[in-house]
């Protein structure tokens, strides 16, 4: 596993020389140019900011020898996906003040601001800080936003579980003061740590690290696709805690055949008191053994794949100084998209609202952003982001439920029973025109693809059975197509690979069905499979289970 005999990657050198993520960012941000240097681009990621340009205008501007339309994407870290009404209103205001007039909800329960100009980054960071929000740690080679199943916030399993994401986020947040010095004019709250980074070291992690906490009953967070996944449970001897899954990850590279998607392995059962130190041991193992030469093969999943689970367990036990407890059996998960109205144990209600591709905007007759702003001004509500790019508005009093329902309806926001069987859970990454990694379209083409597939489904014997679709503009897999019943993955400028057979439970990888097809070809490609599913499928059998059982994929 050692890479000591090889020269480290360029990014490793940038991190090492950065003075704990400071580099020359302060001067570059103050400079007149709309862009920043390549070194600064790498450091900005740790501060939750991606340097981009508008790819819709790139060719035209390049041919005219004009400066590219440089913009930035900022990812706001929201542990567990929970926001107060005041925080939502602050983000909504920033959408107009510094961004493109929209908010984008991610599959990792963060919020992205797109189209930010360099001159607006500091104003954005300052306003976020005033509302106890930040982009710091939203990207970069650190433990990123900790994802939590929304049901764990609402006491459906154990009210204490809702605090785990925040606790882990604090435990693994980089402690350097660089972000507040550079972006918030040196102002920092008295409760913030003042020492630099004893845990991550000079070069932080080999690449990003993701943690998610599932409900024991359903897997909206895709717990097997994480570097560390936690599933709550009760051990017959040790008591309450989590079954820990390690080494999952779905991204790969077409240019590197040695990269692949991988589901995580059950590692151990850890008690509530053990979970922090056990995750720290996983991160420490990854920090030391992860690949720092080839970034495309630098994730924890490759450490697991190369070492094997037994050797990884030995590494962990050596670092912890104790034996790991065997994991509990992981039972089958149910399915829950968290949409619609539900009454909570305390007598209040929440409503799960579909946000197509996670884009909160006012478009035509559907004025979703205005509706959510109006709700946030009504009182003390909580806004919970979900891993399916949707939003739950929680804390609605029984007496206010009808008024909230009318507000949503008059703003053109459809409730769950009005949504199509594919539409209600379809995911897409942003892709073009902002993402520099995108090979082709994703979010902008999702409505067309959903409509065409729902048309093909309605004409088949399967009719309106629910079906999981995920679309991405490249194989990095931000919308997790590798575990979808139908995954569509950008391959070239105009073509996609189609993978089939994943599970809504998130416990099975999809397999390649067709390569390099256009989006317009996909409905005709899968329509015969819908018909077979309707005729040959067993009662209640999902599409992913059907195509796997029959060997179609």
CB 357, CB 366: distance < 8 Å? no
CB 352, CB 391: distance < 8 Å? yes
Q: Which two tokens stand for residue 247?
A: 């080494």
Residue 138 makes CB contacts below 8 A (sequence gap 6+) with 48, 49, 74, 75, 76, 77, 110, 144, 145
So what's the pLDDT on residue 197? Answer: 64
Residue 38 makes CB contacts below 8 A (sequence gap 6+) with none
Q: Which two tokens stand for residue 528?
A: 């015969």
Using alpha carbons only, how large is the chain's radius of gyration in Å? 23
- Run of H or E including 338: none
| Torsion angle, alpha carbons of 216, 221, 226, 230, to 10 | -20
280: cis peptide before it, omega within 30°?
Answer: no
For the chain, residues with pLDDT lower than 50 are 1-4, 188-193
Question: Which class for 294: exposed (0-12), middle (13-18), buried (19 or more C-beta within 10 A)?
Answer: middle
CATH 3.90.480.10 domain position(s) in the chain: 340-418
So what's the pLDDT on residue 192? Answer: 41
CATH 3.30.413.10 domain position(s) in the chain: 205-334, 424-549
- Run of H or E including 318: helix 309-320
So what's the pLDDT on residue 1? Answer: 46
Whole-angstrom Cα distance, residue 402 to residue 253?
49
Question: Residue 29's CB: how many other CB atoms inside 10 A?
Answer: 16
CB 510, CB 487: distance < 8 Å? yes
Whole-angstrom Cα distance, residue 533 to residue 546?
7
Question: Residue 535's CB: how many other CB atoms inside 10 A?
Answer: 10
So what's the pLDDT on residue 431? Answer: 98
So what's the pLDDT on residue 184? Answer: 93
Whole-angstrom Cα distance, residue 449 to residue 430?
15
Angle, vertex CA 372, rays to CA 392 and CA 123, nearest 5:
105
Classified as helix, coil or strand, 364 is coil
Secondary structure (DSSP) of 74-129: EEEB-GGGEEEHHHHHHHHHHHHHTSSS-EEE-TTS-EEEEEE-GGGHHHHHHHHH
pTM value is: 0.95
Residue 65 makes CB contacts below 8 A (sequence gap 6+) with none
CB 76, CB 91: distance < 8 Å? yes
The fold adopted by the segment(s) 205-334 is Sulfite Reductase Hemoprotein; domain 1 (3.30.413)
CB 546, CB 528: distance < 8 Å? no
**Residue of 512, 406, 481, 375 lying closest to 86 (CA atoms):** 375
Burial of 82-99, coded b for 16+ CB within 10 Å and e otherwise, reads bbbbebbbbbbebbeebb
* 123-130, long-range: CB < 8 A, 24+ apart: 123/97, 123/98, 124/74, 124/94, 124/97, 124/98, 125/179, 125/183, 125/184, 126/183, 126/184, 126/185, 127/90, 127/93, 127/94, 127/97, 128/76, 128/90, 128/94, 129/180, 129/184, 129/187, 130/90
Whole-angstrom Cα distance, residue 15 to residue 41?
12
Quick one: 424-549 is in which CATH superfamily? Sulfite Reductase Hemoprotein, domain 1 (3.30.413.10)
Query: Class for domain 340-418, per CATH?
Result: alpha beta
Angle, vertex CA 382, rays to CA 376 and CA 387, nearest 5:
110
Whole-angstrom Cα distance, residue 405 to residue 115?
32
pLDDT per position as a tens digit, 55-100: 999 999 999 999 999 999 999 999 999 999 999 999 999 999 999 9
Whole-angstrom Cα distance, residue 181 to residue 178?
5
So what's the pLDDT on residue 191? Answer: 43
Residues pairing with 359 in the sheet: 104
Q: Which two tokens stand for residue 65?
A: 């020898």
Residue 49 makes CB contacts below 8 A (sequence gap 6+) with 72, 73, 74, 75, 116, 121, 135, 138, 139
* 52-59, long-range: CB < 8 A, 24+ apart: 52/434, 52/435, 52/436, 53/436, 54/115, 54/433, 54/434, 55/432, 55/433, 55/434, 55/436, 55/438, 56/432, 56/433, 57/433
So what's the pLDDT on residue 159? Answer: 64
Question: Which class for 510: exposed (0-12), middle (13-18), buried (19 or more C-beta within 10 A)?
Answer: buried
Which phi and psi angles does 77 have, rounded to 5°? -80, 125
So what's the pLDDT on residue 331? Answer: 84
């Amino acid at each position: 596993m050692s890479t000591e005999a090889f020269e480290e990657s360029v990014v490793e050198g940038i991190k090492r020389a950065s003075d704990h993520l400071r580099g020359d960012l302060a001067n570059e941000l103050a400079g007149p140019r709309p862009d920043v240097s390549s070194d600064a681009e790498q450091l900005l990621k740790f501060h939750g900011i991606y340097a981009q340009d508008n790819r819709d205008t790139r060719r035209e501007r390049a041919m005219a020898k004009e400066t590219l339309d440089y913009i930035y994407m900022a990812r706001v870290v929201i542990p567990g996906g929970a926001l107060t009404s005041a925080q939502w209103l602050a983000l909504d205001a920033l959408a107009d003040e510094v961004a493109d007039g929209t908010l984008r909800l991610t599959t990792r329960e963060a919020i992205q601001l797109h189209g930010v100009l360099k001159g607006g980054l500091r104003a954005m960071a300052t306003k976020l800080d005033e509302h106890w929000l930040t982009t710091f740690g939203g990207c970069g080679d650190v433990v990123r936003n900790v994802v939590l199943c929304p049901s764990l916030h609402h006491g459906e399993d154990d009210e204490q579980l809702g605090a785990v994401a925040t606790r882990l986020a604090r435990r693994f947040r980089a402690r350097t003061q660089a972000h507040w010095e550079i972006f918030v004019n040196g102002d920092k709250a008295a409760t913030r740590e003042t020492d630099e980074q004893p845990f991550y070291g000079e070069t932080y992690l080999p690449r990003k690290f993701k943690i998610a906490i599932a409900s024991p009953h359903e897997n909206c967070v895709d717990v097997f696709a994480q570097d560390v996944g936690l599933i709550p449970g009760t051990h017959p001897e040790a008591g309450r805690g989590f079954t820990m899954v390690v080494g999952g990850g779905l991204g790969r590279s077409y240019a590197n055949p040695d990269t692949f998607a991988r589901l995580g392995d059950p590692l151990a059962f850890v008690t509530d008191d053990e979970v922090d130190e056990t995750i720290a041991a996983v991160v420490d193992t990854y920090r030391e053994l992860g690949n720092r030469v080839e970034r495309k093969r630098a994730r924890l999943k490759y450490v697991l794949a190369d070492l094997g689970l037994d050797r990884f367990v030995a590494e962990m036990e050596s670092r912890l100084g104790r034996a790991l407890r065997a994991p509990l059996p992981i039972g089958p998960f149910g399915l829950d998209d968290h949409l619609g109205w539900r009454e909570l144990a305390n007598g209040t209600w929440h409503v799960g609202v579909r946000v197509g591709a996670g884009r909160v905007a006012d478009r035509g007759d559907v004025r979703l952003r205005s509706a959510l702003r109006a709700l946030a001004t009504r009182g003390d509500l909580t806004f919970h982001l979900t891993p399916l790019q949707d939003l739950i508005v929680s804390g609605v009093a029984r007496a206010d439920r009808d008024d909230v329902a009318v507000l949503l309806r008059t703003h053109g926001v459809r409730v769950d029973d009005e949504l199509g069987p594919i539409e209600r859970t379809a995911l897409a990454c942003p892709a073009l025109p902002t993402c520099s990694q995108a090979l082709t379209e994703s979010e902008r083409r999702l409505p067309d693809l959903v409509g065409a597939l729902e048309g093909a489904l309605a004409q088949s014997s399967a009719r309106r059975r629910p079906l999981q679709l995920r679309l991405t503009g490249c194989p990095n897999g931000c919308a997790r197509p590798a575990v979808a019943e139908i995954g569509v993955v950008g391959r070239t400028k105009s073509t996609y690979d189609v993978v089939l057979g994943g599970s809504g439970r998130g416990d099975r990888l999809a397999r390649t069905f067709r390569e390099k097809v256009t989006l317009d070809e996909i409905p005709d490609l899968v329509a015969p499979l819908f018909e077979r599913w309707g005729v040959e499928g067993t009662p209640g059998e999902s599409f992913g289970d059907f195509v796997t059982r029959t060997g179609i994929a």
